Structure 1
């Protein structure tokens, strides 16, 4: 299986490439509409500012193509910022529109806790989740973020708490997203990536 990694100039591509290759997947980096149209499995990694990601997609002319491919049913995994872009908008860049695949907004973590939320934390998986199959409430994942979709978000597959309950994972049909970094989360993160590859077959 070949996984196409959307390269918009700010994603943590190398770590994700290594993690996917360890699981037997081929990887390629793509950045054009033509490459998006050819992709059969897609990952959208992300670090940085959501406004910069939106502008990068628009500058490359890939925003509408990305939305179209997801609507067609291509399996897609959004990671951290790559998941946040699936929502309608974000408090980080109120003037920017997300892809709107999931309704609702990405919210800033409360000022009562350390931001960014950086380090290991537990995720409570929903029993029906394909992405978090085999994950228990005692398993920890690596997070690095200051914004997240709320725990009331549509398509919740797992919840984490840091000052507020937030969506640690979402899924709907062919669409999967995680707020944590599976490529930096050891064996538990590897399990999540394996689950995605199996769901994508």
Structure 2
């Protein structure tokens, strides 16, 4: 069972529909008992880092997420959900993240238009099963003003937008995707399909 974590942040229905299109059944839930039994967790998110972490605290979900990961089960963070996987975020202040991956989330301080909104190409850094059905330079859809600043150890693919924007990261059973696979058409669906096959 795949569980999309409901913590009042993000368009959960569109994420669920994207998984369904590739034959993956999901449940939307913020219930700790449901989350405990999940085969994999999907952490979506839209909005501000600090607000999202506060929502997770209010629902007492942080321990449940960490327990899931520590059991070796898969977790995928999407957009803001990816950013929450890191130690700290600096959006309108300094906030603690989930601290599942080392690094921080900083303002996209560039001369190009911010937010970084629209289609951008993926540049591959290393092979990974999640890339099985897509090819380098395929386009995915981004909407963000902050980006992950971390070591290159977890980097699988990046987008070039004046800076090298980490687009897909992986630390063992933890994935993060800065773009929106649910808004990325055929390419996004192929990524979700590959992720689903890994869980099987």
Tell me which interval the TM-score lies in, with the shorter structure as reference length: over 0.9
Q: Tell whether the 8 Å contact from 1:102 to 1:154 is kept in structure 2 after alignment.
A: no
Distance 1:158 1:151, change over 3 A: farther
1:121 aligns with 2:126: no
5 Å-filtered alignment, 1:97-176, equals: 97-150=96-149, 152-176=151-175
Q: Deviations over 1:20-51 (max 9, x none)?
A: 11111111111122221121111111111111
Structure 2 segments unaligned to the other structure (5+ residues): none
Counterparts of 2:87 and 2:137, CA distance in 1: 31
Counterparts of 2:25 and 2:92, CA distance in 1: 34
Structure 1 segments unaligned to the other structure (5+ residues): none
Aligned length: 200
Report the TM-score, using the length of structure 2 for normalisation.
0.94
Deviation of 1:137 after TM superposition, in Å, equals 2.5
Counterparts of 1:189 and 1:177, CA distance in 2: 13
Structure 2 partner of 1:73: 72
Structure 1 partner of 2:30: 31
Cα RMSD of the aligned pairs, angstroms, is: 1.4
Structure 2 partner of 1:195: 194
1:54 aligns with 2:31: no
Runs of at least 4 residues of structure 1 off by over 6 A? none
Counterparts of 2:132 and 2:105, CA distance in 1: 25
Distance 1:65 1:93, change over 3 A: farther
Find the residue that maps to 2:112 and give its secondary structure. Answer: coil
Q: Tell whether the 8 Å contact from 1:7 to 1:13 is kept in structure 2 after alignment.
A: yes
